[in-house]
Chains A and B, each alone.
Chain A
């Protein structure tokens, strides 16, 4: 199975959407036909729009009793053949963690949109942060790997939701769209194209759904009701789904494969965008909403003749280690502004040889361009 080009469900053209509305439309365009969610600020508009728009496309919308039920019913629907999604914010994302681990171990493709707000705890429900990035990677217990995007525009809320579904289907893995309050509620013009590329999960009658002969292979995925008599379990299982809860080899093979199938394909998954990396003395590594401020700051300083560059991480996980390693070899300093206490900077430091300068802000506000400019001037 490979990518197919399909017609957009929404008429092609330019629209003035909020980020949350764009994510809902992107999901529908990618073929999402099951959505379960629970109200939570600042992501609720995704659910509201889906609840209306699913009537046009014969989708199944469920408002569940909590976020645990939301993620679990999404997994149930995916095994019944659906492309499915849920959206939430910090507290709900925390509640979903056990389900995320289940999805990772059972290789269930699904998409979660996390419109991050200022935590921990209930924190500031209506304010912005990007404090859930490490949670996205490590939130559930045990060793597993997921894919996470970090959109910086309303257009990307649409495009990356489509990409998220495609990667989920391709690699049979949970994929997260790690937006934030600012991008979820930002309104701007986006373009919906007449066609888009989608990937639908591979099916092969009679093939084992939980293993291949390759240690990084992605097995085909049947659905309930197709007569395949599928055995799905969140316990350690062999390639046909029989529980093997005390066999060291089965456990090690399974855990390694569900990690390797993502990590061995990371060159195809990781997306970055580069600005003036060739001659930059200081490179900003930035993602999400903050990358907008970083771009503005870079442009201003360039006009003053300062050699500033920008590497924008469009995907957060798997981490763009190779390009960080490269820029760490040429730049004098790397500057990492983040709306958290410093999460991605740790990864940047791991892979770069040069000095890495943090800029952390956890006050529920966006980081403004003038703040970045001021900091950059002091280190240039």
Chain B
């Protein structure tokens, strides 16, 4: 099975740049799987990314036009390309710090304008590439290289943020939910307008080690246990929902 996705990878590249235990390799696979299932030609795809580990998912790995931009600005670059040439199928892939902290303004404005972009936010809840500093998505109490006593600020609920800005398709899944995630990527690629998927992707190197996960596998297991569907969540009390991550489609784009 793996070899049939090889045509989507830039020739000459042998491995991903990601650490052992990183979820981004899984996400990379699932994005290509969705494109393959939809039979979209890589010649019409433009992948835009910012700065950070997740920005290396498409650049240079995907065998298509790729634009690796400034930190936080991927959506602004993508807006220019898409608005000038609407025939391009533009997908933005970047991290949580990139898209929602330094780039948060571009995110909400592109959602408000309903610019026809597919935005995939690989959320590892930490600044991975720079050495594990706290992010605007880190859970309360999280240990990071800048919050050794635990994070004291609430994390963003990214899906609510983008929903509030008016995006027609908004979903959240973890890399431990691959089938749902492929389905969501396919929907976002076929929904006209601004579509947003938050993908929970573990970073063992910078987050897991500091937060008492003994191995990458433990972190994946913990992610599997904390992710529940929004349908399940309806039956849980506020207390039971503590430390749970609600996944699913929060706006289905009319599908």
Contact = CB atoms under 8 A, between A and B. Distances in A.
Interface of A: 33-34, 36, 60, 62, 64-66, 68-70, 72-82, 84, 98-99, 102, 223-225, 227-235, 241-243
Contact of A102 (B63, B64, B66, B69): B69
A76 B76 CA distance: 8
Given A69-B106, A231-B60, A81 B85 contact: yes
B109 A62 contact: no
A34 B66 CA distance: 20
Contact of B79 (A68, A73, A78, A102): A73
B181 interface: no
A80 B85 contact: yes
Contact of A225 (B10, B65, B66): B65
B60 A69 contact: no
A76 B77 contact: yes
16 contacts: A60-B83, A62-B80, A69-B79, A72-B73, A75-B77, A75-B80, A76-B67, A76-B78, A76-B79, A76-B80, A80-B81, A224-B88, A229-B42, A229-B64, A234-B68, A243-B60
Q: Which of B63, B68, B76: most chain A Cβ within 10 A? A: B76
Contacts, number: 122
Contact of B69 (A77, A228, A234): A234
B101 to A, nearest CB: 14
Interface string B215-247: 000000000000000000000000000000000
Given A60-B83, A75-B77, A80-B81, 12 more contacts: A62-B79, A65-B109, A69-B106, A72-B70, A72-B77, A76-B80, A77-B81, A79-B81, A80-B84, A223-B85, A225-B87, A231-B10
Contacts of B109: 64-65, 69
B65 A77 contact: no
Interface string B24-68: 000000000000000000111010100000000001100111111
A77 B88 CA distance: 11
Given A102-B70, A224-B88, A69 B76 contact: yes
Q: Which of B64, B67, B80, B109: most chain A Cβ within 10 A? A: B80
B110 to A, nearest CB: 9
A102 B46 CA distance: 19
A229 B41 CA distance: 12
B105 interface: yes
A76 B43 contact: no
A84 B82 CA distance: 14
B71 to A, nearest CB: 8
Contacts of A99: 70, 73
A225 B60 contact: no
Contacts of B46: 80, 224-225
Given A225-B46, A229-B42, A76 B81 contact: yes
A73 B63 contact: no
B84 A77 contact: yes
A173 B53 CA distance: 29
Contact of B43 (A66, A227, A233): A227
A323 to B, nearest CB: 37
Interface in B85-112: 85, 87-88, 105-106, 109
Contact of A228 (B44, B65, B84, B85): B65
Given A224-B85, A227-B43, A80 B80 contact: yes
A232 B68 contact: yes
A66 B105 contact: yes
Contacts of B64: 229
A77 B83 contact: yes
Contacts of A223: 85
Contacts of A225: 43-44, 46, 65, 85, 87-88
Contacts of B88: 80, 224-225
Contact of A36 (B44, B63, B78, B80): B80
A139 B186 CA distance: 42
Contacts of A66: 105
A234 B84 contact: no
Contacts of A76: 48, 67, 69, 76-82, 84
Given A65-B109, A72-B76, A225-B44, A34 B68 contact: no
B67 A79 contact: yes
A81 B80 contact: no
A34 B84 contact: yes
B49 to A, nearest CB: 9
A355 B139 CA distance: 65
Nearest to A99: B70
Q: Which of B63, B67, B88: most chain A Cβ within 10 A? A: B67
A60 B70 CA distance: 23
A77 B48 CA distance: 12
Contact of B76 (A33, A73, A80, A231): A73
B147 to A, nearest CB: 27
A234 B76 CA distance: 15
Closest 4 CB pairs of A and B: A76-B80, A73-B80, A72-B76, A77-B80
B80 A34 contact: yes
A224 B67 CA distance: 9
A235 B59 CA distance: 11
Contacts of A82: 80, 84
Contacts of B67: 76, 79, 224, 232
B73 A68 contact: yes
A86 to B, nearest CB: 10
